[in-house]
């Protein structure tokens, strides 16, 4: 693939990840929080040797609903999060954090070579 094609693909990728409206940004942030919780729950399941069917039973929800939570089709509500605390004997804490206003960490996960970007594309990332 040539450099021009690489730049076009990276630009499309950046555009797809950049929320266009305030509502898009809020939805994106909600999905990131949800994804963090899913990873945490899966880690705790593994540590305690609990499978999805067992977890659904302990939470009092159907296995299909748990699958929807894990795939992001549905988002965790506070009641389900409270039940997770009880099941895993943990307390979830929301801690405010100042996040760098950059998607560099996301791009690094996809191993995008930022040095190949145009100046305008680099400004998009830094915004």
pTM for this one? 0.62
Expressed as residue numbers, the domain containing 49 is 19-100
Average pLDDT over residues 58-81: 94
The number of folded domains in the chain is 1
Residue 7 inside a domain? The answer is no
pLDDT confidence tier of residue 110, bands split at 50, 70 and 90: very low
List the CATH number of the domain containing 65: 1.10.260.40
Mean pLDDT score across all residues of the chain: 80
Tens digits of residue pLDDT in 73-107: 999 999 999 999 999 999 988 877 765 545 555 44
Q: Residue 115 pLDDT more than 60?
A: no
Residue 107 inside a domain? The answer is no
Residue 89 inside a domain? The answer is yes
Residue 50 inside a domain? The answer is yes
15 token code pair = 């555009």
Residue 59 inside a domain? The answer is yes
pLDDT at 40: 93
CA dist 76 to 35, 38, 54, 122, Å?
10, 9, 18, 35
Residue 115 inside a domain? The answer is no
CA dist 113 to 1, 103, 107, Å?
14, 14, 9
């Amino acid at each position: 693939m040539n450099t021009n094609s690489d730049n076009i693909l990276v630009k499309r990728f950046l555009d797809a990840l950049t929320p266009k409206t305030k509502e898009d940004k809020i939805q994106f942030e909600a999905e990131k929080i949800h994804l963090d919780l899913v990873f945490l729950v899966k880690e705790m399941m593994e540590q305690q040797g609990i499978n999805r069917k067992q977890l659904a039973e302990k939470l009092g929800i159907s296995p299909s609903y748990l699958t929807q939570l894990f795939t992001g089709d549905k988002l965790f509500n506070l009641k389900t999060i409270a039940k997770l605390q009880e099941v895993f004997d943990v307390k979830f804490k929301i801690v405010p954090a100042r996040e760098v206003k950059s998607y560099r960490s996301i791009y690094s996960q996809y191993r995008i070579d930022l040095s190949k970007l145009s100046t305008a594309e680099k400004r998009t990332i830094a915004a």
